[in-house]
Structure 1
Amino acid sequence: MLLTFEVIAEALRERIGSGGLKPGDALPTQAILMGEFGASSLSVQKAMALLKRDGYAISRPGKGAFVAQPDIDTDEDPGSLDGGNAPVGGTAARVEALELALAETLDQLTALRARVEALEVGVTERDR
């Protein structure tokens, strides 16, 4: 059984694969997706992060999320693509996804460091 964010991501992938959403088209807003799927904002955000990670979408700050442009210079033979089911993401979408993952990892490390420092302070105070 798919989680809500996976259902949203899969529905958008299908729309992209079928041509309902074409490269450069704006993806539905968070509010629209929340209403359409009865989902929380977190579920929609996770779905968009998944689409960006997989190269289906790219963000334009202040403008929203858009269907990614396909790579022009892929390593694969164009004839080997499976009829529109392959990610359409370009290099920019992959770079953005990696930057997002790196930022999330740095946030997690910062939070972990703060917890460790708090524990160390607690141990030091108890030793007195």
Structure 2
Amino acid sequence: MGSTVLLTFEVIAEALRGRIRSGGLMLGDALPTQAVLMAEFGASSLSVQKAMALLKRDGYAISRPGKGAFVARLDADADAGYAEAGNAPSGGTAARVEVLELALTEALEQLTGLRARVEALEAGGSGPSH
């Protein structure tokens, strides 16, 4: 029942985790901007936002308002010592809610697009032919 196909936001998140684990991105380094990740992966802004939310949820990234996102830890087994230094990643429930909100937004956008196509078909127009 397990699928090995990753969604775009999962691919982006895993690629960034890999860079962190390999040392390409070090603790405290700025993560690539949304625009850079959109261009690199050919992804939508929503996919990049969802990837960043995953990284934050998993403790790999932390946001600093007005500054961007930064590497918060180097691997999944990292010490919880960041909390003592006042750099605890915003994780847990808040990050999960953020991921769910982004997923809901994406679903609503897809529904809006489908509704427009159905209305066009009902009005006698023909959608794009493939």
Task: Say yes or no: TM over 0.5.
Answer: yes
Letter in 2 for 1:35: A
Structure with more of its chain in helix, by fraction: 1
**Structure 1 position 43 matched with structure 2 position 47:** yes
**Structure 1 position 54 matched with structure 2 position 48:** no
Could you tell me which runs of 5 or more consecutive residues in structure 2 were left unpaired when the two chains were aligned.
105-130
Could you tell me which runs of 5 or more consecutive residues in structure 1 were left unpaired when the two chains were aligned.
71-83, 109-128
**Residue number among 48, 66, 69 corresponding to 1:65 in the alignment:** 69
Letter in 1 for 2:24: G
Deviations 1:32-72 (A, max 9, x none): 0000000000000000000000010000000000000x4xx
Partner-residue secondary structure (3-state), 1:22? coil
Corresponding residue for 1:23? 27
Identity over aligned pairs, percent: 69
**Structure 1 position 14 matched with structure 2 position 4:** no
Q: TM-score, normalised by structure 2?
A: 0.61
> Counterparts of 2:24 and 2:48 in 1: how far apart (Å)?
19
Q: TM-score, normalised by structure 1?
A: 0.62
> Counterparts of 2:46 and 2:22 in 1: how far apart (Å)?
26
